[in-house]
Each structure stands twice: as C-alpha cells, then as structure tokens.
Amino acid sequence: MKIDPAGLERKIAHDVLVGAVLPRPIAFISTLGEDGVYNLAPYSFFIPVSMNPIIVGVGIGRKRDGSKKDTLVNIEWGKDFVVNLVTEPLAEAMNQTAGEYPKDVDEFQVAGLTPIQADLVKSPRVGESPVNMECRLHQILSFGESTRKNEFVLGEVLRIHVKDEYWVKGEIQSTKLRAIGRMGGDFYCRTGDVFEMKRPVVR
C-alpha cells in the first residue's frame, strides 16, 4: 500500500497518521477561560521540542464545525497552559474530558478531578496527576485552510511539579509512573513492560 496525503479525506488522513506515529504521549492540558471556567482535555499530538529553554509543542485540530477547540481559545486568551501527565489510574477520567462539551462546562467537574492553583501561570494543575508542567505560550503556528486548519502551540515550561514519591535521587522514576500512551483508533498502551538498553560507547 502507498498512501499520498494530498486530497485524503480528513478522517482517513487522521487515522493513517495516528496509526503510523505511535505510541504517543498524552498531554492532559488544563487552561483557564476568559469566563473564569476551567478547561481540561487530552492531546496526543504532543512532543518535547527544545531543552534550553524547555519548550513543548502540541498540535490542536478543529471541532467538527470547524471552530477552535476550547483549549486553543483559552491559550490564545490567557497565554498559558499546564501539561499534566496521564497515568493508568487517570485513564478513565482523561477519556471523560475528551467529549465536545460546551465552552462553559468545567471538565474538572465532569471527570471528578481536582484543580490546584499553579505557581506561575493562571491555568490550574491537575492535582491527581504525578507530573505537571506550567507553560507560558511561546508561539502558535497555523497549518491548513478554513475548517481544516490545525494549530501547533509551543509553550515554554516555567516550572515542573513532580510528586515526591516519584522523585528519587534527583531523577523522575519514569518506570514507576504507570504513564499511558495513545495508539491508533481508540487503543492505548501501558508502560509496564519496559526494557533497558545502554548506548554504545564510542571513543
């Protein structure tokens, strides 16, 4: 099979992409709206982009009617967001927040999660998540046209919170976090089956 993206129907293009780029980390993004309502939604088009400064990027598509998703609207207004790590115990709650709720719905309440005031940004942190990254908007790139537009939001990480139990000897205990990843379709993966490989030392 050879697939050329040009002219592909949106859903097929999406399904091919998420079936070919995997597993993807899930950024559980919390924001504050101009109306004072908190917003929370998962985004798996998510990637670390730079280490110094620490920049992360997230790809945000459009709602079915072509309008901007609430997360993007809030980031454009508030200029900040928080990325929360999704773990196995948070999977169901994360999925609940992915519904296309009206803008005045607080997905923290929908999912029964706890918003915690962040230190440096207006957006709240998810109290139940073991890792939160407070981000200040750096730049928004736009791709595509009209209702098929996508935005790529770059945020500078100003502060990272790690629950103490996962911070041992100056390192995040990544294999203990039980992070989950997104596969194609509605499938997810666990990170319980890890293995270690040392890199070759070249002198």
For ligand FMN, the binding residues (CB under 6 A) are 26, 39, 41-45, 59-61, 69-71, 95, 98-100, 182
- At 27, which amino acid appears? A
Q: Give me the least distance between CB of 124 and ligand FMN, in Å please.
A: 14
Q: How near is the Cβ of 176 to ligand FMN at its closest, in Å?
A: 22
- C-beta of 81 vs 118, nearer to ligand FMN: 81
Residue closer to ligand FMN, measured from CB, 44 or 84: 44
State the CB neighbour count (10 A cutoff) for residue 129: 25
For residue 134, give the nearest of 161, 170, 102 by alpha carbon: 161
Q: How far lies 46's CA from each of 125, 171, 185, 203, in Å?
A: 18, 22, 17, 35
- Choice between 42 and 115, CB closer to ligand FMN: 42
Shortest Å, Cβ 91 to ligand FMN:
9
Rounded to the nearest whole angstrom, what is the least distance from the CB of residue 134 to ligand FMN in the complex?
18
Q: Which is nearer to ligand FMN, 69 or 125 (by Cβ)?
A: 69
Least Å distance between CB 62 and ligand FMN?
8
Nearer to ligand FMN, 43 or 108 (CB): 43
CA 165 vs CA 82, 87, 174: distances in Å? 21, 15, 11
Write down the H helix ranges in the chain. 10-20, 70-78, 91-96, 107-111
Pairing of strands 171-172, 167-168: antiparallel
Q: How near is the Cβ of 164 to ligand FMN at its closest, in Å?
A: 27
Query: How far, CA to CA in Å, does 52 sit from each of 17, 48, 69, 127, 139?
Result: 29, 11, 29, 27, 16
The residue behind tokens 């945000």 is 60
First to last CA, the chain: 42
Task: Give whichever of 16 and 167 is closer to ligand FMN, judged by the CB atom.
Answer: 16
